[in-house]
Structures are given as C-alpha cells and as structure tokens.
C-alpha cells in the first residue's frame, strides 16, 4: 500500500536542497557526494541497509554533527535557498527551523508540561497563559493530549515508550519548525505505537516538510511520498515512492527492494 | 533426530553441571553478601566503640565552652564553630571554581593538548598529600604573606587540596546526563549554555549535591593541612564565635590530634574521645543528608 494521499503535483517547491554532501568520521567517509531535493509539505523517506549512512545523512541536515568532535561535513545544504553551512549562519537558528526527533525517545527528566514548553521558553516565551496554549496545541497535534491532559505535571519518564516519542514530537512542534527530521522514530516502539506515529506523520505533512529515516521498507511505502535509497554511503536513487518501489532505475535498488540485500 | 541420543532432547538444559553452577552461584552470592555485611559491621563497631568511650564526655558545657590549656574541664565550642567556618569558607572558594572548570572540561573542551594538560594537572594536584599542602600553606600564607595562622589560610590550603576532587565530581555528574538529552535540547534550537543550564545541570543536580556534601564531610575531618595553616589555637579572645578570617582557628579534628599528642590537660583522653565522637557524628550527618538531599533534589528537578 502506498501513501494514502497521491502525489498530485510531482514537482513542488524545494524546501531543502542537498548538494555534493560529504560526511567524514575522522578518515572514514560515511557519505559520498550525496545530492537530493526535499520537496515542501511532503514526506521524504531515507531507506537502506544498516550502516548505509542514512542516519549520518539526516543528522547533517540540521547540523547535529557540529556537536560531535571528529565529524567533518563538506558540501551544501540549502534551506529555502540559504546554505545552512554558510559562513555567517548560526546553527542554533537552523535547528530552530529544522527540528529533529530521535531514534530512542529522549524526553527531558521534567514534567510533561515542561517538556513541551521547553522550546518556546528558551526562545523567549514566558507568558503562562500562552505557554499553556502552546502546550495543549503541541500535544493535540502530536495526538497525545487526550492521554495526558490530566497529568501534565507528572514526570515525562512515567509515560510509555510510544507516548514518550509522541511527546518528543509535540516538543518539536511547539517551536514551530519548518522541517521535521525523524531518525527511525518508531524503531524502538511496538506495532500499535508505531501505527500511531505513522498516522501522525501523515497529518504533519500538511504543515511541515518531513524527512524520515526508516529501516522498514513497508513503513517507507506506507507513509512517504518520496524515497531515496542509500547504500554504503552512496545515495543510489531518489524518486517518488511508487516509482522507487515498483520501477526502480538502479539494479541495486531493485535488489534491496526485492530482499536480496541486508 | 535419531533414537541414539535421547539425552539431548532439550539442548539448552545441561544437566551435567547444573548443580555445579548453582553451587558457584550460591558461593558468589554468599561472598559478596559477607563483604557487604563486613563493611556495615565495621562501621557499627566503630561507632559503638566511640559511643562507649566518648558519650559520657558530651554535655552542653563540653559542646559550647572554650578549650582549656592546663586544667581539666575544657570544651570544644570554638573548635566546632571553626570547623564549620573553615568549611564554609572553603566551599565558597571551591564550589564555583570547581564547577566552572568541570563544566568547561566536560561540556566545552574538545579533546586536545589543553584539555589533557588540565586533566593531568588536576590529577597531580589530587595526589599531593595533605601534609605537603599544609607545608605549602605554611610557607605561602603564614610566612610569605605574614598572615600567621589564620582561618583564611586554612581555607585556601583546603581549597587547593579539594579542588581537583570536586572538579572530578562535577565532571562525573555531568557525564551521567545522557548525550541524547543534550541532542534533544540542541535540536529544539537551544544554545549550548541554555542546554547546560536547563537540561544538563538540573539533570546532574543530585550527583553534584551528593558529591559536594561528601567532600564537605572530608573537609570537616581534614587535619594535617590545617595544623600548619589555621593553627592549633583558637582566637585569643576565647569567644566561641570569631568571624574574623585572619584569626587562628583550630578545628575539631586538629583539636583532637592536639589534645591527644601535645595536650597538657589531665582529661586529654576524655576530651579526645568526646571530640572524636562529635566529629564522627558530624560526618555521619553530612553523609546521610547528602543522600536525602540528593534524592529530594533529583525528584524535584525531574518531576518524578
């Protein structure tokens, strides 16, 4: 089954433009000359076998590699035409506009409420009433409100794994980013929690541009509009999800899709 | 499967050495339990013995009166005050510097020559025996600066002695906060300082507080370094509370050493036992409050 909403206009505005991206861990080159366009208000999935570099690639899209010593990024990533690796660019501003959800839910050891309003607070919102509104809106959009509305002042660590992950999504939504990066957001979750996250991603693309790494081809097929296939640090192929899954251009993509790889 | 190997019906149960493994398990459990019990017993015996020796000495008079040089019946009031006074001075100097240095090394410094140099210096500083630090203090504060024996000199020498340990405690406390939380904060557009201030420090407040209090317990019991810097006498006025940091300030632990080894008073042994008991109780209170406070703070800051 492919994405429920068909891709009506194949060419959309490009939100993120990746050009000749190279990422090195010390001497080891994890991403080699990758270039791709990420269309606005669509879900783009990154697939490939373990160790192919898809997580490394997505972390380069909001400069998360800056935090790890020994990682070098070369090339260009343009957000609405502006290179996020440009000389005068503040990575903090970039991460405000490009949020990220991680593989393992990583709620702060604070209350549910404090988790959601963390972003707005650090960006200067202090009005209690507005913060409460932001909190409710974020939790509603992350489809978590009904489950937690009576326990906002309890620890986020008491939530289930799936709830924690939706809380992390709510936390990102609360800072109103333009792009949401998700690094295997459902890989640590059970099937029911996974399907909730997948439904949510379908909702999110109306307002946001979503890039998601997934190790599950079924998941990519279910939720994404575009799919790119990585293998050993190379971006092999990118196209609409239906094209990549039914008529892959590259032999290696076909081998992976049909289960002959990793 | 053929009928010739009936014993391998369930390959995961190896009957041949099951009892052996169970025995090894029991022995290991027993040994570890005994070791743990040994530590508890040791402490219990120690406290019990000191109570037996020193409990009868303790009275309101003993806890508040100034010490006596010649006649019996001296107290330890000024010593108790000095112990806490020097402790507070030391913490005022140590905590900000050690925390700042620890934060820098753990959160900002990239691995490199500067970082490893600082680490090496801190480790070297940590291995300096307290008597050597005491002699250093004697030269610098007492002689070169002409302060003579002072509470301030003692506190500064103690600061040098405990700075590395507290820096280590800070680093370990910060390191106990998962990297994923830092990334989560940065991915929301937080700056590094906002992340440290709002996520990392609150997340490590429990180990930090515990560490500071445990080191405070150590400072309270420190002796050698103070003999040469804060001196073995209390301030000349003999009032129990002398806030002037430039007065000599014999602490409880120094008093304990002094009466036992140099004291002229006829009840030196009693004074020593009483002082030892009070000192032990203070340190115990420190350690217990470290646990309680650590747990309470962690609950407060994690919303649990």
The average pLDDT across B147-151 equals: 88
pLDDT number for residue B146: 85
Q: A186: burial class by Cβ within 10 Å (0-12, 13-18, 19+)?
A: buried
CB contact under 8 A, B188 and A111: no
CA-nearest of A124, A192, A112, A102 to A153 is: A112
CA-nearest of A194, A234, A190, A230 to A44 is: A230
CA-nearest of B65, B59, B42, B79 to B282 is: B79
- Looking at domain A14-257, its CATH architecture is 3-Layer(aba) Sandwich (3.40)
Alpha-carbon distance of A127 to B203, in angstroms, equals 25
Q: A219: burial class by Cβ within 10 Å (0-12, 13-18, 19+)?
A: buried
Question: How many other CB atoms are found less than 10 A from the CB of residue A74?
Answer: 14
Look-up of token digits 């020498």: B157
Measured in whole angstroms, the distance separating CA A123 from the mean position of its chain's CA atoms is: 21
ipTM over 0.85: yes
What is the maximal distance between C-alpha atoms in chain B? 98
Residue B97 distance to chain A (closest CA, Å): 25
Going from the C-alpha of B237 to that of each of B233, B234, B240, the distances in angstroms are: 11, 8, 9
The average pLDDT across A218-247 equals: 93
Q: B202: burial class by Cβ within 10 Å (0-12, 13-18, 19+)?
A: buried
Q: Where are the domains positioned within chain A?
A: 14-257
Measured in whole angstroms, the distance separating CA A194 from the mean position of its chain's CA atoms is: 15
pLDDT number for residue B77: 87
Alpha-carbon distance of B31 to A180, in angstroms, equals 54
Residue A100 φ then ψ, to 5°: -145, 140
- Strand, helix or coil for residue A80: coil
Selected for mutation to probe chain B from A100, A106, A153 (highest B CB count within 10 Å) is A106
Give me A217's structure tokens: 């081809």
Please report which residue ranges of chain B form alpha helices under DSSP H.
18-54, 60-64, 77-103, 113-126, 130-137, 151-175, 179-186, 192-195, 201-203, 205-221, 224-227, 252-261, 268-302
Strands A14-25 and A71-79: antiparallel
pLDDT tens-digit series, residues B189-218? 999 999 999 999 998 988 898 889 889 988
Q: Across the A/B interface, how many CB contacts are shorter than 8 Å? A: 88
What mean pLDDT, rounded, does chain B reach? 87
The average pLDDT across B57-80 equals: 86
Going from the C-alpha of A236 to that of each of A47, A218, A228, A254, A257, the distances in angstroms are: 10, 19, 7, 11, 13
- Residues from chain B that touch A172, judged by Cβ atoms under 8 A, are 187-188
The answer, for B176 touching chain A at a CB cutoff of 8 Å, is no
CA-nearest of A129, A161, A169 to A145 is: A169
CB contact under 8 A, A111 and B110: no
What mean pLDDT, rounded, does chain A reach? 90
Which residues 109-148 in chain A show a CB within 8 A of chain B? 109-112, 114, 118-119, 122-123
Selected for mutation to probe chain B from A95, A103, A157 (highest B CB count within 10 Å) is A95
pLDDT at position A61 over 50 = yes
pLDDT number for residue B2: 44
pLDDT number for residue B248: 83
Q: A106, B183 in Cβ contact below 8 A?
A: yes
Alpha-carbon distance of A44 to A228, in angstroms, equals 8
pLDDT tens-digit series, residues A100-149? 999 999 999 999 999 999 999 999 999 999 999 999 999 998 889 999 99
Alpha-carbon distance of A257 to A167, in angstroms, equals 32
pLDDT tens-digit series, residues B117-129? 888 888 888 888 9
Beta bridge partners, A47, equal A229
CA-nearest of A35, A99, A91 to A66 is: A91
- Residues from chain A that touch B182, judged by Cβ atoms under 8 A, are 67
The answer, for A236 touching chain B at a CB cutoff of 8 Å, is no
Strand (E) or helix (H) holding A227: strand A226-231
Q: What percent of chain A has pLDDT over 90?
A: 79
pLDDT at position A50 over 60 = yes
What number of residues does chain B have? 304
pLDDT number for residue B302: 65
pLDDT at position A73 over 60 = yes
Residue B109 per-residue DSSP state: P
Alpha-carbon distance of A61 to A107, in angstroms, equals 22
Q: Where are the domains positioned within chain B?
A: 78-302
- Looking at domain B78-302, its CATH architecture is Orthogonal Bundle (1.10)
The answer, for A217 touching chain B at a CB cutoff of 8 Å, is no
Selected for mutation to probe chain A from B184, B195, B202, B298 (highest A CB count within 10 Å) is B184
Give me B25's structure tokens: 């398990």
Give the lowest-confidence range in A1-5, A45-49, B78-82.
A1-5
Strands A28-39 and A14-25: antiparallel
The answer, for B281 touching chain A at a CB cutoff of 8 Å, is no
Strand (E) or helix (H) holding B200: none
């Amino acid at each position: 089954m492919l994405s429920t909403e068909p891709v009506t206009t194949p060419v959309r505005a490009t939100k993120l433009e990746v050009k000749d991206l190279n990422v090195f861990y010390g001497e080891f080159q994890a991403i080699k000359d990758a270039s791709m366009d990420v269309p606005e208000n669509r879900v783009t999935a990154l697939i490939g076998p373990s160790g192919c570099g898809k997580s490394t690639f997505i972390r380069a899209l909001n400069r998360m590699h800056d935090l790890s010593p020994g990682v070098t990024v070369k090339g260009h990533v343009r957000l609405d035409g502006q290179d996020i690796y440009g000389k005068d660019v503040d990575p903090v501003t970039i991460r405000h506009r490009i949020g990220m959800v991680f593989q393992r839910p990583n709620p702060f050891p604070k209350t549910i409420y404090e988790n959601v309003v963390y972003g707005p607070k650090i960006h200067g919102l202090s009005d209690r009433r507005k913060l409460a509104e932001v909190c409710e809106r974020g939790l509603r959009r992350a489809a978590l409100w009904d489950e937690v509305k009576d326990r906002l002042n309890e620890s986020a660590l008491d939530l289930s794994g799936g709830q924690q992950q939706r809380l992390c999504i709510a936390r990102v939504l609360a800072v109103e980013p333009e792009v949401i990066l998700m690094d295997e957001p459902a890989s640590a979750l059970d099937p029911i929690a996974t399907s909730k996250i997948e439904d949510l991603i379908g909702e999110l693309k109306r307002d946001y541009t979503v890039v998601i790494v997934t190790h599950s081809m079924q998941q990519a097929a279910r939720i994404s509009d575009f799919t790119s296939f990585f293998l050993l640090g190379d971006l092999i192929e990118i196209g609409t999800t239906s094209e990549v899954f039914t008529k892959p251009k590259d032999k290696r993509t076909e081998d992976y899709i049909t289960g002959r790889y990793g | 499967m053929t009928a010739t190997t009936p014993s391998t019906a369930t390959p995961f149960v190896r009957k041949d050495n099951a009892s052996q493994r169970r025995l090894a398990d029991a022995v290991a459990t027993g040994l570890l339990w005994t070791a743990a019990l040994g530590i508890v017993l040791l402490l219990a015996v120690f406290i019990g013995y000191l109570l037996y020796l020193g409990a009868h000495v303790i009275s309101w008079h003993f806890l508040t009166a100034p010490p006596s040089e010649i006649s019996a019946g001296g107290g330890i009031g000024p010593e108790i005050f000095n112990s806490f006074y020097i402790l507070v001075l030391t913490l005022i100097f140590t905590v900000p510097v050690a925390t700042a240095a620890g934060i820098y090394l753990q959160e900002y410094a990239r691995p490199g020559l500067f970082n490893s140099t600082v680490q090496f210096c801190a480790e070297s500083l940590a291995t300096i025996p307290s008597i050597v630090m005491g002699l250093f203090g004697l030269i610098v504060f007492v002689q070169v600066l002409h302060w003579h024996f002072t509470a301030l000199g003692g506190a500064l020498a103690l600061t040098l002695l405990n700075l590395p340990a507290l820096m280590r405690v800070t680093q370990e406390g910060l390191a106990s906060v998962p990297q994923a939380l830092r990334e989560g904060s940065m991915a929301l557009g937080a700056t590094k300082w906002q992340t440290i201030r709002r996520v990392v420090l609150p997340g490590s407040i429990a180990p930090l507080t515990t560490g500071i209090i445990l080191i405070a317990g150590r400072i309270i019991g420190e002796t050698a370094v103070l003999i040469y810097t804060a001196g073995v006498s209390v301030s000349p006025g003999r009032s129990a509370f002398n806030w002037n940091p430039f007065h000599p300030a014999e602490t409880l632990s120094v008093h304990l050493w002094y009466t036992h080894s140099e004291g002229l008073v006829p009840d030196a042994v009693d004074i020593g036992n009483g002082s030892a008991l009070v000192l032990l109780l203070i340190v115990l209170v420190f350690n217990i409050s470290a646990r309680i406070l650590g747990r309470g703070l962690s609950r407060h800051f994690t919303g649990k």
